Amino acid sequence: MRKISVIGIGAGNPDHITVQAIKALGQLDVVFVIDKGPEKDDLARLRRELCERYIAPRAYRMIEIPDPPRDRAPSRYEAAVEDWHERRSRLYEEAIASHLAESERGGLLVWGDPCLYDSTLRILDRILARGELAFEHEVIPGITSLQALTAAHRTTLNQIGGPVRITTGRRLREQGIGPAETVAVMLDGECAFNAVEGEDIEILWGAYVGGEKEILLSGPLAETAPEIESVRRDARDQHGWIMDAYLLRRRGEA
Ligand SMILES: C[S@@+](CC[C@H](N)C(=O)[O-])C[C@H]1O[C@@H](n2cnc3c(N)ncnc32)[C@H](O)[C@@H]1O
C-alpha cells in the first residue's frame, strides 16, 4: 500500500529538523510540494535545502500540487473554507494517485508542525473518508513557530501554572486577553494587538523567527506596539511577505 509521511520541518531554520524527520526524509520516493502565498520562494528554498541534505543522492521526484485560490473575504466564512478544503483535497488525491506507485513512500513537508494551524491532516482524512484512494500515513512532529518564538525570546510559553490560549488575530480582536492567561497569536495580518488594552500587558513579538531574517521586539504593549507596526510594515515591503507571531501576557507573572 502507498505510504505517506507528513513531516513537520520547523518554522524556517533548517537545523530545527528532528532526527525522526531526517530518517523519514531518507525513505521518500516522492516529495509533494504545495506552493502557496508570496512567501513561497523562501519556503521552496528551505524545502530544497532539506531534500538535498537528507534525501539526495538517493533519487526522488518532486511533484507540485497547485493551491486553489481562496476567497479571503467571503460572506459565509465556514462555507468558503469547506469549499476550499474540498478543492484542495481533490487536487491532493489526484496528485497522489497519479504520481505515487503502490509500493512507494511519499512525503508532505509541512511548515512548523502539522498540528498547528495547518490543514494537511484534515485534507488527508477527507481523502480517506471518500474511500476512493487508500494509503497509510504517519505524522512526524516539527518545531512550531511558537516554540521558535519562545526560544528566541528565552522565555516560557505559560506563566507559572497558568493557561495558554493559542488564537488568531481576528479572534484576539473579538475576545481580548483574560486576567491570568498568556495569549499566543498567529495568523494576524492586521496588528490586532492594537485592539488590546491594559497598562500591565507586555508583548513578545517575532517575525521570520528562526530564519536569517529574524526580527524580535518585546516590551510593554502600549509603548512597543507602534514600533512593531512600523518594523513589520518595512520588513513586509522589503521582503514581499512576512510571517509573525507574538505572546501577550501580564507583566511580572512570567
Ligand atoms: C498557517 S500557520 C502555520 C503554523 C505552523 N504549522 C507552525 O507549526 O508554526 C502560519 C502562521 O504561523 C506563524 N509563523 C510561521 N512561521 C513563523 C516564523 N518563522 N516566525 C513567526 N511566525 C511564524 C505566523 O503567525 C503565520 O501567520
Q: Is the pLDDT of residue 231 over 80?
A: yes
Percent of the chain with pLDDT over 70: 96
Does ligand 1 come within 6 angstroms of the Cβ of 143?
no
Round to whole Å and give the CA distance between 233 and 227. Answer: 10
Per-residue pLDDT at 191: 97
Does ligand 1 come within 6 angstroms of the Cβ of 187?
yes
Q: Quick one: which H or E segment has residue 45? A: helix 40-54
Per DSSP (E only), the strands in 42-156 are 61-66, 105-110, 136-140
Quote helix, strand, coil % in the chain, to nearest 5. Answer: 40, 25, 40
Q: Is the pLDDT of residue 165 over 90?
A: yes
- What average pLDDT does the segment 157-175 reach? 95
Please give the backbone phi and psi of residue 104, each rounded to the nearest 5 degrees, phi first: -95, 170
Q: Which three cell numbers stand for residue 188?
A: 494576524
Q: Which ligand 1 atom minimizes the distance to the CA of 12?
A: 19
Per-residue pLDDT at 39: 62
Round to whole Å and give the CA distance between 14 and 83. Answer: 33
Q: Is the pLDDT of residue 253 over 60?
A: no
Amino acid 197 reads: E
3-state secondary structure of 111: coil
Q: Yes or no: say if 208 and 12 are a contact pair by the CB < 8 Å rule.
A: yes
Q: Which three cell numbers stand for residue 135?
A: 494509503
Does ligand 1 come within 6 angstroms of the Cβ of 118?
yes
Round to whole Å and give the CA distance between 175 and 169. Answer: 10
- What average pLDDT does the segment 77-101 reach? 91
Answer with the residue of higher pLDDT: 179 or 201: 201
Model confidence band, residue 146 (pLDDT cutoffs 50, 70, 90) = very high
- What average pLDDT does the segment 197-208 reach? 95
Cα-to-centroid distance, 196 and ligand 1 (Å)? 21
The residue written with cell numbers 495580518 in the block is: 189
Cα-to-centroid distance, 104 and ligand 1 (Å)? 30
- pLDDT by residue (tens digit) across 15-70? 999 999 999 999 999 999 887 666 667 777 888 889 999 998 889 999 988 877 77
Predicted TM-score (pTM) of the model is 0.93
The residue written with cell numbers 481580548 in the block is: 176
